[in-house]
Amino acid sequence: MWATILLLFHVSFVIVYHKYHIIAMRGYTMENLMLPTGKWTIYGNKEGGLLEISSIDSEGNLTATAFGDKITGSFNVSSGEITFTRTPKGSVDTWQLYTGYISMWYGGEDGQGGEIYLLGGSYSNVGVGTVFHRFGWYATPGWKWG
């Protein structure tokens, strides 16, 4: 079984291990890296779903949904940071605050493949009577289940 492990360091440095050997090592500045619109598969705290980014205006404001819920958020092209708020369906006084960063590297074992994007970060449940917890999340381009 082939195993590939990606380690992201401060979102701007990627080391790819394949069968315990470094096969690609790239450093990138995320400055001015645009967030691709479209369908992404998002995972977080035992939940997987669709993150659909319809548009990003000139101010960085997102028009998007996550897990079928409309989100309010923004993308900072200078830092590569994405932030958004999701209110899960049926929730009145609880919401989720997501913060993450975009990363990009060139795919393939030789690092010569096409551009591969990844969003990753953490989110917290916030609201009346909730206990603060932080969870990890990540998203990959393309919709994996449909």
Query: For 96-116, how does the pLDDT look when each residue is reduced to its tens digit (9 = 90+)?
Result: 999 999 998 877 776 677 888
Asked whether 10 and 4 are in contact (CB, 8 A), the reply is: no
Mean pLDDT, the chain, rounded, equals 80
User: Which domains can be identified in the chain, with CATH numbers?
Assistant: 30-141 (2.40.128.30)
Residue 30 CB partners (closer than 8 Å, separation 6+): 11, 12, 79, 80, 101, 102, 103, 104
CA distance 63 to 93: 22
pTM greater than the 0.85 cutoff: no
Place of tokens 């393309």: 142
Helix (H, G, I), strand (E, B) or coil at 19: coil
**Best mean pLDDT range from 32-36, 44-48, 126-130, 138-142:** 138-142
Q: Measured in whole angstroms, how far is the alpha carbon of residue 79 from the centre of its chain?
A: 14
